Chains A and B, each alone.
Chain A
């Protein structure tokens, strides 16, 4: 399971303040904290407080990688900001994200290819989030075909089938699980799959329980990665256990502790 830590996002007050004041302290603290918990990538999103400009995104990637040696998941819809961040990023970056819209694919995939980055492809286009699994899978296929046409290795694509909150869009969750299964059949080697996990429990009670239950179900369907709260200990226990039950890790009595190493 690839864990993409979600915490460096301007939507959280401490990070929003830090970005506004150009003070890297809180950002770097969260970078370290998430990696220590087991995150493999750090999502970076400037949030609503400041303009999503190339300068801010570039600054954010630089302050993170000044402190830690980890790949950043560059979370922006601004193509210029993506490019500015890719220019300064060390190692293999992840772009978050592209959709199946032709104009976006044409603008973003050349950058992914040029910087040998990885990319998250949202299974949607400008008409919005599809209702059913078949439409989601069709959108994923459009992204798969374009990724292939640009000569990007299929393993570098992470398809996000888009989960919605279970209180207001309850019928989406099973469709998302089915989409994960279908996406794994679209190419050989298969594209990877990813979820913005916390969405499933937005404005619900028992958010942690909903998140980790859904994640285990999604892992059983073939999920490879999640943008999630990396410091949720119960979540990590659930992932470790699911990895054992899926026979991805060899069981040992210390499997929970071992997963955190």
Chain B
């Protein structure tokens, strides 16, 4: 008996978003990253086109990280007091995209000025050729100033700047529009707010292909399933033709995975969990690879081995299944 392959006919498609700009497009990047464009569920290329693979971004702090787990310290301590050297090392490790987190702007910490941190962004741009994602210090008021300054000094580079939220998006969105950058729109594990925020942004004049959705990831063991199902519904809505949920999705897997107990506990403390090194890398790898299945387009990672694991899994999944 002949078996017919069941193929869903989708009417929608994920919007294609480009990050970075080469000389031709007014920037100085040696490469750009394109995400989105899928016309089917993740990796189901037998029922629709999957033109771009998910991208792994390496996370870099603009100051020496505090309280990091031992495996992360071991991986980066030779460079992590210098963001330029750190970014270069990421590029050497094979990063196609670097996520620079401007922690030093935090008013509760070093409280560096917008001009100072914008200079760091410039330095990193000069040191590496891959496109850059720039993230604030998570103090909404300060980030508005900082990201505005960053958008200005990096005009033409088409950074991916984040994050805009429902109650704080106008300044960042305005800066992105004026200086031609792409924007991360973050919503708190809530697709209704994700959709509403995209409507507010597009009403303001931000183009649909200049927005990346951050549905806010939770770590493995700490609510990953909520993020997973929200991401899945966002993706299904895109494929059903909902333009306001059609943007590519970003997941901060490194940040979330390494802040929970399991990757941060030594084997002496918890012998039943096994070696910390492997456990931490796997915690991050599984957090990221799970949301790869629900449609994540950009995975922001911390440990180089976890980043490589996810890259290799994503390459395998991109193999032709048609």
Contact = CB atoms under 8 A, between A and B. Distances in A.
Nearest to A254: B199
A258 B200 CA distance: 11
Interface in A221-251: 249-251
Contacts of B196: 252-254
B199 A250 contact: no
Interface string B189-216: 0011101100100000000000000000
A254 B196 CA distance: 7
A252 B191 CA distance: 8
Secondary structure dominating the interface of A: loop
A256 to B, nearest CB: 12
A59 B199 CA distance: 41
Nearest to A244: B192
Tell me the interface secondary structure of chain B in the complex. Answer: helix
Interface in B235-273: 237, 242-245
A250 B192 CA distance: 7
Contacts of B237: 250
B88 interface: no
A224 to B, nearest CB: 14
A257 B199 CA distance: 10
A260 to B, nearest CB: 12
Contacts of A251: 192, 195
Contacts of B245: 250
Contacts of A254: 196, 199
B308 interface: no
Contacts of A253: 192, 196
A254 B166 CA distance: 13
Contact of B191 (A250, A257, A258, A261): A250
Nearest to B197: A252
A251 B242 CA distance: 11
B192 A258 contact: no
A67 B296 CA distance: 42
B164 to A, nearest CB: 16
B186 to A, nearest CB: 15
6 contacts: A250-B192, A252-B192, A252-B193, A252-B196, A254-B196, A258-B199
Interface of B: 191-193, 195-196, 199, 233, 237, 242-245
Interface of A: 249-254, 257-258, 261
